[in-house]
Amino acid sequence: MKYIIKGTEPDSFKDWKSSGDKKYNDLINPIKSDVKKSLLVEQGYICCYCEQKISSDSSHIEHLKPKDRDKFPELQLDYTNMLCSCQKQLAKGEPRHCGNSKDNKTILIYPLQNYCEIKFKYGFNGSIEHIDEVSKETINHLQLDIDKLNDLRKNAIEPFIFDISDEEAQIFAREYLKQKDGKYNEFYTTIKYLFL
């Protein structure tokens, strides 16, 4: 889970909210697209939880604290409570994870905490492990340890361990972690944990 520094909300969103009594379900394009674009830019086009690559078409706006009326309805239009998560549409039989798995739960480790990156351990086989009960619960709520995500992380790791020295892997990792054209490579914290 990569630390995300929140920016300011788009002016169009701010203006829309100030024009009357609004709810999240009232949010439509083009303003909703402006919000999503802003979130994607903040995150470097990787999912806020699992860090796989996302685009506007493959992601949805995720509320960190659930917006439901019995949870945190007052935060439904709070930009600081919004992130972008993968799995906008689920393919038949595809396992839920990240925002779709979290649903209306509240997680205690999340990407707006500057220490979130050190709350998980990663293995060369693509696994993710907890360091305490809180990180264990977060992994479970987000389903970050499912086979699909383990395999994707393993695929990201493989180029770093294929017949190169440790020093070459570190150089490769430093390049891999650089933002290019406003985008991060996927599984940022996995690579950072294993090779730097």
**Phi, then psi, of 82 in degrees rounded to 5:** -110, 140
d(CA 61, CA 142): 15
Q: Quote the pTM value.
A: 0.94
185: number of Cβ within 10 Å: 18
CB count in 10 Å sphere of residue 196: 11
Does residue 6 sit within a domain? no
Q: How confident is the model at residue 106 (pLDDT cuts 50, 70, 90)?
A: very high
**Domain annotation covers residue 5:** no
At 38-87, the pLDDT tens digits run: 999 999 999 999 999 999 999 999 999 998 878 898 999 999 999 999 99
> 3 lies in a domain?
no
Beta strand pairing call for 128-130 and 120-122: antiparallel
Instruction: Give a yes or no: residue 78 inside a domain.
Output: yes
Tell me the pLDDT tens digit for each residue of 131-178: 999 999 999 999 999 999 999 999 999 998 888 888 999 999 999 999
| 2 inside domain | no
Q: Can you give the residue range of the structural domain that contains 68?
A: 11-195
Number of domains, the chain? 1
Q: Is residue 4 part of a domain?
A: no
